[in-house]
Every structure is written in structure tokens, then in C-alpha cells.
Amino acid sequence: MNTKIKVLTISDHPLAPSGVGTQTRYFIEALLKTNRYQVVSFGGAMKHDKHDPIKTQEFGDDWIIYPVDGYGTQEMVRSVIRQEKPDIVWFMTDPRFWGWLWQIEHEVRALCPMVYYHVWDNYPYPTYNRKWYMSNDVVCTISKVTDDIVANVAPEVDRYYIPHAVDGNIFKTLPDADVMNAKISTLGSVAKDKFVFLWNNRNARRKQSGSLIFWFKEFLDKVGHESACLIMHTEPHDPNGQDLIQIIEHLELDKGQILLSTEKYPPQQLAMMYNIADCTVNISDAEGFGLATLESLACKTPIIATMTGGLQEQITNGEEWFGIGIEPSSKAIIGSQEIPWIYEDRLNGDDVVEALVKMYNMSAEERKQMAERGYQHVMMNYNFENFERIWVETMDGINDKYGSWDTRKNYKSWDLVEIE
């Protein structure tokens, strides 16, 4: 008889390089390493050539991944729950993607608890999310901002603050000789002494990819076009973003000032990119967490970031700074018919240029000290071992408190009766 705790995860594909996919994989692997869990995953948020279930070599039958379009459907969830009989359903990303799942929460939660790993970007409190928070047994939060939001909007729901983590065995400082060789390979021997900025993000509107290129040109006009370059690790033709190649050509930055990195790199190669860089930049209008900046700090590369969402707690602990934080100059409201409002933090271009110049003019020793503080901040607050331990303890506790199927408890299901 199988006595392992079975978890159904619904999220970005856990083998994909996205931030959500990476954290989902870290979560799953933490459970599987205990040898007390089995996992069935919906691998979503990407296009698939095939939809056949897959296994990983390391975990075999203990981890089955079903590639799905979007994040799946209600019928897929019903079918897998009937077939696999999970003890816990765990899902992650922005609540805008989960209305269809919460519509059947009465079916799911009658059998097993629902655990939502919540991503949210900004204040003011999204009071319209209350009904969604209350549709879960447990809400786990990725940042202090998100945790405060849930605490105020739905204080009744069980809540756990579990910030993202970075694998320090991969994202770390690398030997100087290897870094220099990689830098020469990337930039060429003539440009190896350039100051290197790195932008590692999805080419999406809120990430401000096009604006960064425009402001980087203004920065180069101040310090000299031969003095620095910007590596953009992204898809230049993402349908959710802009045509970055045309913008670069339009601004005449196609002579080594901006380099596009478009290959899907494994984590080890990403770590080398952070080591090549002198500074990593993230100027998003809104950011639930921002994994790239955390990875950068783990490699002892300082950051420039918008003081918004989860980025704030990465760039400062309230006393020390691990990069340059840019305060928003204004706010804008976006939304939809389902989401009445989301506030975005907008930056002033002059402030971005000033931050780039400040980082560029900083002495190597100042940057080194800043990077060392950032590294210590990451190791203390976002270390991998704590992340794995806390998730295992949390899931063990949820299984004990809520049970599943014949042992389901602490959930009151609705009984429909005919009105005479």
C-alpha cells in the first residue's frame, strides 16, 4: 500500500526556465527528496509539441508531469483528481489565472485541501481578491508585500510567508579566469573592459524593455558609447512585448552597445552571465518578486531595481543597501473586467539614467562591498536549505491539519437541499 503523500501541482511547467517554473521545481524537489511524497504536475504556461505524460530520470514514478495548454481545464483537474487521488492540490502564480479553478473549489476541497502560493505585485489592498483568498484552505505568500496584503484582505485564511529562494550551489561567484574567458567570448577581446549591465527578464510590457533601451542610450550619451554595454537575455519578439531588434536599430545601438542573448540557458550558464555583469537591472512597473535580481545578488553582482513589490526587500533590509533602488515618480492604474484595478509604479527616465551613471561611476571597491552585503542578505533570508525545510514542514502540517478523502477535516462542504 502506498503511504506517500501525493500532491497535484498546477503551475508553469516545472522544467521551464521561468521564475514561476523554477520555484515550482524547487518546491517539488524539496518534497521528493524526503521520499515521503509523490507529485503529479500540470506543466503549463508554454506551448507543447506533445502532451504525453513525462517522468524525470531522478525521481521516476514519484513525479509525473502532464504537459497542458494554459494551466489546464476544469475537466482535466476533475479527471486527474479521480485518477490520482491527490492529498493536496498546490498551485501558483497571479490570481488572474485561477478563476476557473476556484469555480470548482467546492468539488476539490470536499476531497483535499487547496494550497495557493500567491503572487501579487503592489498596493493598495486588492479587496476584490478576498473571495479568491477565502476559496483556499491555505495561502502561502512570496514576499512581505504579498503577505501583508493577504493578512489585511482575508485575515481568516491560514497564511504562511515563504519567500522565493536561490540555489547557492549554482548561483555563486565563479573563478576569475573562467569569467574573463566567458566575457571575451561574449563581448570580444576588444570590448572585454567594458562595464556590463545585464537585464534578464521576459520581454513584456510591465518589464519596461523598450524604455530601458531608450534610457540606456541616454546613459551612453553621458558616459560614452564605448564605455559600457547592456546584455538583454530575453526573447526580442515576444508577443507580450516589443520588437527589441527594431528598437535597437532605430536608436542606432546595434554596434555592440546592446547585445541580445536569446538562447534558453541552463541555470549554470545563467550564473556565468551574472558573473560577467557588473550590475543587473530590473526596472519593472510591477514585480511580485523578481527572481533574476536575487540570483544576481547570490553571484555577488549588485543590482539596480524599482522600489516596488518584492524587489524592495531584495535591494534593502531597511538598514543596508545591496544596490540602487529607484523610487517611482508616479502610479498608473491598469485592470480588466475581472480585475478592477492594479496599481503600477512608473519610473522617471531621468532617475533611471541617474542610477545607471551612479553605478557606473562607483569604484570597484564600493561595488564589491555592496555585492558582499547583498550576498549575505540572500544567504540569510533566501537560502535554499531554509526554503526546502520550510516547505516540507508546511506541507506536512497541512496534511496533518486538513487530511484528505476519507480523513478530510476542517472543511465544511455545502449541502444542496430542495426548497419546498
**Cell output for 308:** 516596488
pLDDT tens digits, one per residue of 256-289? 899 999 888 888 999 999 999 999 999 999 888 8
Which pLDDT score, from 0 to 100, does residue 169 have?
Answer: 93
**Cell output for 192:** 572585454
d(CA 370, CA 206): 27
Nearest residue to 113 (alpha-carbon basis) of 340, 399, 391, 370: 399
User: Which residue did the predictor score with more confidence, 51 or 20?
Assistant: 20
Residue 190 backbone dihedrals phi, psi, to 5 degrees: -70, -35
Q: Note whether 5-165+384-407 and 176-381 share their fold.
A: yes
Average pLDDT in the chain: 92
Residue 344 backbone dihedrals phi, psi, to 5 degrees: -115, 145
pLDDT at 346 over 90: yes
Q: What secondary structure does DSSP assign to 264-312, as a single string?
A: ---HHHHHHHHHH-SEEEE--S--S--HHHHHHHHTT--EEEES-TTHH
User: Which residue did the predictor score with more confidence, 191 or 409?
Assistant: 409
Beta strands across the sheet bearing 37-44: 54-55, 63-67, 37-44, 5-12, 88-93, 114-118, 138-141, 158-161
d(CA 137, CA 54): 29
For residues 279, 285, 287, 292, the Cα torsion angle rounded to the nearest 10 degrees is -20
In the chain, how long is the greatest CA-to-CA distance? 86
Q: Cβ atoms within 10 A of the Cβ of 57, count?
A: 5
Write out the CATH class of domain 5-165+384-407: alpha beta
Which pLDDT score, from 0 to 100, does residue 415 have?
Answer: 63
Q: Where are the domains of the chain?
A: 5-165+384-407, 176-381
Contact 91, 98 (CB under 8 A): yes
**3-17, 49-63, 278-292: range with lowest mean pLDDT:** 49-63
Residue 249 backbone dihedrals phi, psi, to 5 degrees: -70, -40
Residue type, 193: D
Strand partners, 232: 199, 260
Contact 408, 112 (CB under 8 A): yes
pLDDT tens digits, one per residue of 368-387? 999 999 999 999 999 899 99
d(CA 200, CA 291): 9
In CATH, the architecture of 176-381 is 3-Layer(aba) Sandwich (3.40)
Nearest residue to 65 (alpha-carbon basis) of 32, 87, 43, 80: 43
Q: How large is the angle between the packed helices 364-381 and 291-298, nearest 10 degrees?
A: 110
Which pLDDT score, from 0 to 100, does residue 2 have?
Answer: 67
pLDDT tens digits, one per residue of 186-228? 888 777 789 999 999 989 888 999 999 999 999 999 999 999 9
